[in-house]
């Protein structure tokens, strides 16, 4: 801290109409918009900072991290300069700007920060032609609730100026404290650059039996693993936790150098994009495989020979085996949560354990209230996200360590664990079709007409014959969620059709894909008989998909011949 105080400037600006957070306080747009549109990023950062009450903002501590994608360093510098100008007293930032989303949640909770700003577009591609995003997490470490997102949006629509210290420069590579004297500020502004892994690793040590996992990965008959960080934020975490701490060979971890464009790949851990891992697992050399998305909150599990564990199955299997984890043996299990589109496999486990299941809209923010109130111990979504009340975010590496703990305790392979689960609870065949990049007006009319059709009383009892299958409708609704903690009502969260055999069809309009719109179609069918557990999911679900396409007319109305992505 040398020389003259750094000036604080107020810069005039004009609002943008498209800065409504898409849920959880996040704004995701093409990188070119953030980079090229005048004041686009400062406007949104100012709206986020102004959403924090002035009394809480002055002198407070916040956490800042990114998944390392293109434009992150520039954006981090702007966030720091604006935080200083807006009265934030201290920022905790990961070295080189890197912090996984679970690590941000962890640090916020550990140091009781006022909140955190995460620069990520999750599983979307990076680079100049990719996507960029800004996400705001609140003081409990979780995504901003809708009331905060609404406040951010209202501020963004009327913003006239933002505060910034353009001459403030920080060294993101140097661990330790940096202090800056600002004009008209009584106390210096402080930035602390921290190791991105250490605080989060310390939390994991309190949850798991690291010795047991290490014995699995290093002892006689060791489990050979293959873990793909997909050139996102998780590289340092995989190396430090799985390799350095738990003894997995260094070559177990691949694509562990964070790259601005994720190596030109789509950092989305599913069978469509994690093909490098899938091919390696198909060779039979490795008994366990995992991949993570760009910011580390989503994951995929594969067994030997590429055996795929669906996210909904993974959630249910974790729930059924929580006794393998020291944390849950100590804390107990109070309840489970799942998003409405997620398969009902979790519900069958919950019934056997005599614990409640909370069915919420899609979006992790809905789980935070449940966990804060002590109602929910484990929650998950079909979109490859699972977590527990140790944080207020989904947590990919945590889920991988849970799986390794289960394997160690049960002394079974991934496939054996899954098949045993199916034998006990039945198999839920499940599939999601994404129709991406659609015109918002088109999707509005499709969903409007579909809602009118399926919620009409005459739709109940209708029968659909597809081949030898006959499906009878027993329930339909437009999903509405009443938060059991504060009574908040969230409406129009997807259309549900439930058939007499417990099969489900769900249509949901997704708002997480930037300027264009996405319709997601979900199909689920339950099979109790073990002789029917070896079928291909799409073959089982094809009659349901045919019904969905017939009643929605989505191909005819969008001009599409099929979905963009199938998971």
Let me know how long the chain is.
Answer: 567
**Alpha carbon distance 138, 158 (integer Å):** 23
Instruction: Give the tokens for residue 7.
Output: 């000036």
CATH classification for the domain delimited by 427-566, as one of 3.40.50.300, 1.20.140.10, 3.20.10.10, 3.30.310.50: 3.30.310.50
Q: Which CATH superfamily is domain 9-194 in?
A: Alpha-D-Glucose-1,6-Bisphosphate, subunit A, domain 3 (3.40.120.10)
DSSP 122-178: TTS--STTSEEEEEEE-TTSSBBPHHHHHHHHHHHHH--EEEE-TT----TTS-EEE
pLDDT score of 512: 56
Q: At what angle do helices 414-425 and 396-410 cross, to 10 degrees?
A: 80
Tens digit of each residue's pLDDT (9 = 90 or more) over 351-399 = 999 999 999 999 999 999 999 999 999 999 999 999 999 999 999 999 9
CATH superfamily of domain region 200-425 = Alpha-D-Glucose-1,6-Bisphosphate, subunit A, domain 3 (3.40.120.10)
Per-residue pLDDT of the chain (567 residues; tens, 9 = 90+): 557 899 999 999 999 999 999 877 799 999 999 999 999 999 999 999 999 999 999 999 999 999 999 999 999 999 999 999 999 999 999 999 999 999 999 999 999 999 999 999 999 999 999 999 999 999 999 999 999 999 999 999 999 999 999 999 999 999 999 999 999 777 899 999 999 999 999 999 999 999 999 999 997 889 999 999 999 999 999 999 999 999 999 999 999 999 999 999 999 999 999 999 999 999 999 999 999 999 999 999 999 999 999 999 999 999 999 999 999 999 999 999 999 999 999 999 999 999 999 999 999 999 999 999 999 999 999 999 999 999 999 999 999 999 999 999 999 999 999 999 999 999 999 999 999 889 999 999 999 999 999 999 999 999 999 988 899 999 999 999 999 999 999 999 999 999 999 999 999 998 655 568 899 999 999 999 999 999 999 999 999 999 999 999 999 999 998 887 777
Query: What does the domain layout of the chain look like in residue ranges?
Result: 9-194, 200-425, 427-566
Q: Is position 122 annotated as part of the catalytic site?
A: yes
For residue 160, how far is the Cα from the chain centroid?
A: 33
Q: Which two tokens stand for residue 203?
A: 């939390």
d(CA 332, CA 330): 6
**Catalytic residue, candidates 50, 122, 252, 512:** 122
* Same fold across 9-194 and 200-425: yes
């Amino acid at each position: 801290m040398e020389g003259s105080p750094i000036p604080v400037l107020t810069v005039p600006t004009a609002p943008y109409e498209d800065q409504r957070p898409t849920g959880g306080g996040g704004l995701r747009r093409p990188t070119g918009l953030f980079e090229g549109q005048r004041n686009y990023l400062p406007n949104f950062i100012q709206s986020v900072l102004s959403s924090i009450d002035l009394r809480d903002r002055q002198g407070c501590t916040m956490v800042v991290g990114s998944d390392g994608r293109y434009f992150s360093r520039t954006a981090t510098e702007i966030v720091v300069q604006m935080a200083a100008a807006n009265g934030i007293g201290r920022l905790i930032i990961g070295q080189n700007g890197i912090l996984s989303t679970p690590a941000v949640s962890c640090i916020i909770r550990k140091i009781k920060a006022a909140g955190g700003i995460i620069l990520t577009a999750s599983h979307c591609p990076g680079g100049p032609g990719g996507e960029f995003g800004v996400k705001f997490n609140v003081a409990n470490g979780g995504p901003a609730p809708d009331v905060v997102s609404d406040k951010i949006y209202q501020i963004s629509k009327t913003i006239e100026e933002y505060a910034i210290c353009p001459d403030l420069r920080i060294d993101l590579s140097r661990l330790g404290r940096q202090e800056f004297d600002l004009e008209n500020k009584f106390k210096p502004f402080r930035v602390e650059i921290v190791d991105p892994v250490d605080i989060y690793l310390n939390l994991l040590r309190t949850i798991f039996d690291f010795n047991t996992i290490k014995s699995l990965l290093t002892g006689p008959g060791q489990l050979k693993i293959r873990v793909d960080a997909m050139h996102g934020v998780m590289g340092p975490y995989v190396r430090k936790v799985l390799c350095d701490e738990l003894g997995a060979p260094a070559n177990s971890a691949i694509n562990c150098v964070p790259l601005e464009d994720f190596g030109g790949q789509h950092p989305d851990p599913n069978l469509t994009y994690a093909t490098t891992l899938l091919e390696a697992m198909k060779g039979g050399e490795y008994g366990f495989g995992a991949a993570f998305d760009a910011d580390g909150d989503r994951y995929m599990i594969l067994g030997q020979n590429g055996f795929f564990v669906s996210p909904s199955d993974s959630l249910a299997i974790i729930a059924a085996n929580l006794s393998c984890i020291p944390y849950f043996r100590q804390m107990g299990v109070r309840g489970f949560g799942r998003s409405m589109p997620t398969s009902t496999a979790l519900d069958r486990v919950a019934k056997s354990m005599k614990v409640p299941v909370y069915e919420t809209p899609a979006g992790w923010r809905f789980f935070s209230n449940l966990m804060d109130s002590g109602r929910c111990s484990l929650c998950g979504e079909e979109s490859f996200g699972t977590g527990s009340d140790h944080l207020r975010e989904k947590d990919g590496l945590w889920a991988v360590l849970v799986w390794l703990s289960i394997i160690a305790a049960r002394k079974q392979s991934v496939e054996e664990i899954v098949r045993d689960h199916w034998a006990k609870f039945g198999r839920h065949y499940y599939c999601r079709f994404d129709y991406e990049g659609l015109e918002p007006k088109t999707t509005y009319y499709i969903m409007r007409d579909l809602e009118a059709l399926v919620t009409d009383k005459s739709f109940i009892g209708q029968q659909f014959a597809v081949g030898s299958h006959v499906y009878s409708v027993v329930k339909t609704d437009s999903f509405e969620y009443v938060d059991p903690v504060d009574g908040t009502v969230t409406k129009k969260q997807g259309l549900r059709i439930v058939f007499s055999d417990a099969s489900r069809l769900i249509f949901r309009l997704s708002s997480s894909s930037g300027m264009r719109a996405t319709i997601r179609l979900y199909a689920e069918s339950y099979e109790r008989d073990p002789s029917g557990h070896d079928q291909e999911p799409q073959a089982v679900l094809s009659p349901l998909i045919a019904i969905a396409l017939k009643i929605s007319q989505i191909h005819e109305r969008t001009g599409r011949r099929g979905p963009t992505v199938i998971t």
